[in-house]
A and B are shown apart, each in its own frame.
Chain A
Amino acid sequence: AQSVAQPEDQVNVAEGNPLTVKCTYSVSGNPYLFWYVQYPNRGLQFLLKYITGDNLVKGSYGFEAEFNKSQTSFHLKKPSALVSDSALYFCAVRDMGGATNKLIFGTGTLLAVQP
């Protein structure tokens, strides 16, 4: 079965420090991976995706993610955290079971950036 795991419910980081939000996946075949961010009482906003090519993917708001096939991971990173980055982050993988764009989401990681 295909799945996505976000092992940390919450990540705390000081403003200006680098941040990492972890994601691991389990799929058959090549994965199509996505990161989304959700602010309180809002919908999800797309940050970045990995389909193929360079393992380091750059996205919105200075975020990037590193695809690691051997470790089946797709961790989200940012060199210098901002207080405004505090939000709920979701990793997702495309469901490869059919000709759709269905996504399987992780349970989310709450990022708290302290000033």
Chain B
Amino acid sequence: DGGITQSPKYLFRKEGQNVTLSCEQNLNHDAMYWYRQDPGQGLRLIYYSQIVNDFQKGDIAEGYSVSREKKESFPLTVTSAQKNPTAFYLCASSIGTDNNQPQHFGDGTRLSIL
């Protein structure tokens, strides 16, 4: 079945540690996105990528980094510079850009601080 796989489902970070969240899709989608979800705030865009080897900052990129070396993969690194990383992180993809197809979401990674 086609879809988006996020791993791990739960992740714990120690002080000063970088952690990487995995996002893989087999939908052959060009565009991929990372969101952060906090209670009562909806989803906020961290980074997005419209094509391999290219990505742009979203609304809350500080303290995060991404790479897009392969079409199917868009990992997110939460760096030690992100002082409040506890949140639910969602990865999404869409067929392409500049069209009106919906985004498809993975089941998220919940990140907590030890």
Contact = CB atoms under 8 A, between A and B. Distances in A.
A94 B100 contact: yes
Interface of B: 4, 6, 31, 33, 40-45, 48, 50, 58, 90, 92, 94, 96-108, 110
A63 interface: no
Interface of A: 9, 32, 34, 36, 41-46, 49, 51, 90, 94, 99-103, 105-108
8 contacts: A43-B107, A44-B103, A49-B100, A51-B100, A90-B43, A101-B101, A102-B48, A108-B42
Nearest to A9: B40
Given A100-B50, A105-B42, A46 B103 contact: yes
A43 B108 contact: yes
Nearest to B30: A101
Contacts, number: 63
Contacts of A106: 42
A100 B50 CA distance: 7
A43 B90 contact: yes
Among B42, B97, B104, B108, max chain A CB count under 10 A is at: B42
B100 A46 contact: no
Contact of A100 (B31, B40, B43): B31
A4 to B, nearest CB: 8
Contact of B103 (A41, A51, A99, A103): A103
Contacts of B43: 44, 90, 105
B102 A49 contact: yes
A100 B92 CA distance: 14
B32 to A, nearest CB: 11
